[in-house]
């Protein structure tokens, strides 16, 4: 199974900056890349990135992803973006349940599960984020928290669960420069793998990414762990040399 390196631009970018970043990726990317690659961009830039991918053959190997999706198919939900809309822009992936959405927008486990269901219904692969806060880790509740978060998605999506991607992102390691050690990350990934194995006989199809400040210097050691199938990359995905280094480290 090829690893997946997905960049999460978060609320960053601009028309010129996006074009420059993608141009640098096009020049530096080995085609085909050694792993699956995606960029999850802010909704206003989906059209731009879609067009740039079409214009540059090298960029066609980089899949397009969004950062959020509504759990509703359509209707009076001002400001929301449906999965069907994302599909029209060629999105293959969408991030759901990122810790920043859970923290700043009050997203619950149930809502995250419903968003994953909406994405799957439109043929988009949800990257389902799970992870514990520093307080939860220090109190010994890491396994309980991540299993509860994933259980909600499993319960809502049933046999479709083999179609998702899971991203373990310890909240205390996101944007802080702190990173779980390879052993700490592997331990949680192993727990999640076991939970998926109990839920579906297709568990081997599910990629589990690490999403806590993976960067150019630590990517190789994290990706060498047996249950880490790739990375959900934040800040480093905005720097072409760093992102390319991480992609190169994801060779199977």
List the beta bridge partners of residue 41.
Answer: 66
Q: Is 132 among the catalytic positions?
A: no
Rounded to an integer, what distance in angstroms lies between the CA atom of residue 152 and that of residue 198? 14
Which among 98, 107, 132, 163 is annotated as catalytic? 98
Is the bond leading into 78 cis (omega within 30 degrees of zero)? no
Angstrom distance (rounded) from CA 65 to CA 91: 5
Question: Nearest-CA neighbor of 89 among 116, 118, 123, 120?
Answer: 123
Residue 54: burial class (beta carbons within 10 Å; 0-12, 13-18, 19+): exposed
169 is catalytic: yes
The span from the CA of 233 to the CA of 137, in Å, is 22
| Candidate list 36, 63, 169, 189, residue with the active-site label | 169
What are the residue numbers of the active site? 98, 169
């Amino acid at each position: 199974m090829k690893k997946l390196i997905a960049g999460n631009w978060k609320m960053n970018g601009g028309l010129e900056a996006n074009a420059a970043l993608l141009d640098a990726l096009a020049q530096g990317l080995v085609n085909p890349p050694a792993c699956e690659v995606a960029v999850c961009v802010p909704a206003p830039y989906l059209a731009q990135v879609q067009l740039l991918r079409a214009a540059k053959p090298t960029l066609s190997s980089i899949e397009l992803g969004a950062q959020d999706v509504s759990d509703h198919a359509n209707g009076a939900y001002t400001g929301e973006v449906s999965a069907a809309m994302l599909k029209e822009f060629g999105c293959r992936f969408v991030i759901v349940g990122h810790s920043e959405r859970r923290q700043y927008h009050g997203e619950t486990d149930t809502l995250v599960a419903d968003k994953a269901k909406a994405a799957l219904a439109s043929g988009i692969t949800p990257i389902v984020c799970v992870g514990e806060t520093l307080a939860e880790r220090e109190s010994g509740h890491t396994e309980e928290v991540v299993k509860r978060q994933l259980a909600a998605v499993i319960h809502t999506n049933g046999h479709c669960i083999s179609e998702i991607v899971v991203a373990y992102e310890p909240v205390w390691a996101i944007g802080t420069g702190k990173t779980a050690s390879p052993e700490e990350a592997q331990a949680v990934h192993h727990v999640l793998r076991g939970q998926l194995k109990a839920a579906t006989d297709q568990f081997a199809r599910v990629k589990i990414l690490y999403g806590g400040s993976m960067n150019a210097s630590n990517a190789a050691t994290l990706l060498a762990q047996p249950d880490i199938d790739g990375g959900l990359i934040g800040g480093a995905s905005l720097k072409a040399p760093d992102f390319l280094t991480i992609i190169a480290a994801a060779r199977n």
